[in-house]
Amino acid sequence: MKDTGKICKAVGLLSGGLDSAIAAKLLLDQGIEVHAVHVSMPWGCGDPGRVRRLAEKLHIPMKIIPLADDYLAVLQHPKYGFGSAHNPCIDCHIYMVKKAAAYMQEIGASFVFTGEVLGQRPMSQRRQCLGWVEDDALVPGRLLRPLCAKLLAPTIPEQEGLVDRERLLDISGRSRKVQYRLVKELGIEGFSAPGGGCLLTEKLFGARLKDVLARGCPDIASTAVLGLGRYFRLDAGAFVLLGRDAHENEELLKRAMPTDILLRPAAFPGPVALVRGGDIHDNRLTLAAGLAQFYSKSREAGPLPLACWRADAPADVREIMSVRVHEADVKRMLL
């Protein structure tokens, strides 16, 4: 690497996983000032707390960027389509690289880097896809992939001598044997296990998200509850989520939007129900109450009361009686 007389800065996408941690360490070991960015999603793709801890272990500054409402366009009309579920992987990565590129300009860094490996993911890490990401994220020549850089054309920071290409890698394919060897050699700790994490890749969650988007989802915050509980489509205008355990019950209460209706069994132990839709009338609420009773030990009992309130008015509690729900109805509504 040439001695340019000034410290080179780079911004990297840090997921908290194995590959992005190695990418950051490879550049740190070249004397590059690394800044990390993590795009925090409400349904997975990394735990911000774990990412912060990993950044601390690497001794690099960390910026958490919450997913913004502009991501709805990615979920609704991705240029490069979806994977096997509702996962717009290529467009999603373009979105993240754009956020990193904006931060690069903000702090005066020279390039963006990622932990991508050529051929590791069949949808988003083919050679052609890597080119699409670079072009659509508007960082031509300034998107470095340290783990597979030797298999790709040299980037501008390599050509300018800011990065020593000979100290980058030529990893390809789905195996991570090389990466596991490297983390031991480089002394990297605190990364998360590879694979999984993003609920968009799960077909059940994808079906829920698609159903909600079709109703006219107003913002990203509205999707935060969709990874919880059992999801029932009450009708074209409303749905209900039922907690599956005490933790999910509390999370539903915590993540409810102001206009959501919440129901909690008053006379029997059972799940919390979150009801969301346009006009939440009593017919929908008694049906939601019936679903809550169906998933309790009081399934065979007669109508039972549930406490009912709007999320933004927790003191204004009234009583809703359940209605008998049959197994065929449950199967018809469950998504």
Q: What is the pLDDT of residue 277?
A: 86
Determine, yes or no, domain membership for 265: yes
Determine, yes or no, domain membership for 198: no
> Which of 25, 31, 32, 29 is closest to 55 using CA atoms?
25
Q: What is the pLDDT of residue 84?
A: 87
Q: What is the pLDDT of residue 192?
A: 79
Same domain, 69 and 178: yes
Q: Say whether pLDDT at 3 is over 60.
A: no
Determine, yes or no, domain membership for 211: no
Same domain, 50 and 142: yes
Q: What is the pLDDT of residue 279?
A: 76
| pLDDT tens-digit readout, 237-284 | 899 999 999 999 999 999 999 999 999 999 899 999 999 987 778 889
Determine, yes or no, domain membership for 219: no
Lowest-pLDDT range of 119-128, 155-164, 166-175, 260-269: 119-128
Last-in-domain residue among 130, 160, 186: 186
> What are the Cα distances from residue 122, in Å, to 74, 118, 126, 175, 192?
20, 9, 6, 13, 21
Determine, yes or no, domain membership for 202: no
**How many residues are recorded in the chain?**
335
| pLDDT tens-digit readout, 289-302 | 999 999 999 999 99
Same domain, 20 and 135: yes
Q: What is the pLDDT of residue 5?
A: 55
Percent of the chain with pLDDT strictly greater than 90: 80
Q: What is the pLDDT of residue 50?
A: 87
Same domain, 179 and 235: no
Same domain, 133 and 18: yes
Q: Say whether pLDDT at 132 is over 80.
A: yes
Query: Do 109 and 141 touch, CB atoms closer than 8 A?
Result: no
Question: End-to-end distance of the chain based on CA atoms, in angstroms?
Answer: 55
Percent of the chain with pLDDT strictly greater than 70: 96
Determine, yes or no, domain membership for 282: yes
| pLDDT tens-digit readout, 205-224 | 999 999 999 888 889 999 99
When pLDDT is averaged across residues 26-48 and rounded to a whole number, the result is 90
- Average pLDDT over all residues of the chain: 92
d(CA 136, CA 14): 20
Determine, yes or no, domain membership for 217: no
Q: Say whether pLDDT at 325 is over 60.
A: yes
Q: Say whether pLDDT at 183 is over 80.
A: yes
Same domain, 54 and 153: yes
Q: How confident is the model at residue 7 (pLDDT cuts 50, 70, 90)?
A: confident
User: Which domain CATH number covers 131?
Assistant: 3.40.50.620
Last-in-domain residue among 186, 217, 247: 186
When pLDDT is averaged across residues 31-41 and rounded to a whole number, the result is 96
> Which of 84, 75, 90, 137 is closest to 112 using CA atoms?
137
Same domain, 233 and 140: no
User: β-strand 143-144 against 238-242: which pairing, if any?
Assistant: unpaired
d(CA 320, CA 325): 15
Tokens of 125: 């890490």
Report the helix count and the strand count for the chain, using DSSP H and E: 11, 11
d(CA 320, CA 308): 6
Which residues have C-beta within 8 Å of that of residue 246, sequence separation ≥ 6? none
Q: What is the pLDDT of residue 280?
A: 78
d(CA 300, CA 313): 32
Last-in-domain residue among 186, 213, 237: 186
Query: Do 152 and 118 touch, CB atoms closer than 8 A?
Result: yes
d(CA 236, CA 331): 16
Tokens of 10: 């780079």
> What residue type is assigned to position 73 of the chain?
A
CB-CB neighbours of 161 under 10 Å: 13
In angstroms, how far is CA 110 from the centroid of its own chain? Answer: 27
Q: What is the pLDDT of residue 209?
A: 93
Tokens of 23: 């990418």
When pLDDT is averaged across residues 307-335 and rounded to a whole number, the result is 95
Residue 237 sits at φ, ψ, to 5 deg, of -110, -10
Determine, yes or no, domain membership for 298: yes
Same domain, 237 and 146: no
Same domain, 169 and 280: no
| pLDDT tens-digit readout, 61-99 | 999 999 999 999 999 999 999 988 899 999 999 999 999
**318 DSSP 8-state letter:** E
Same domain, 108 and 244: no
Q: 3-state DSSP helix/strand/coil percent for the chain, to nearest 5?
A: 40, 20, 45
Q: What is the pLDDT of residue 47?
A: 81
> What residue type is assigned to position 222 of the chain?
S
Query: Do 319 and 266 touch, CB atoms closer than 8 A?
Result: yes
Q: How confident is the model at residue 139 (pLDDT cuts 50, 70, 90)?
A: very high
Domain span holding position 23:
9-186
Same domain, 160 and 233: no
How many distinct structural domains can be found in the chain? 2
When pLDDT is averaged across residues 124-148 and rounded to a whole number, the result is 94
Same domain, 35 and 151: yes
Report the predicted TM-score, pTM, of the whole model to 2 decimal places: 0.90
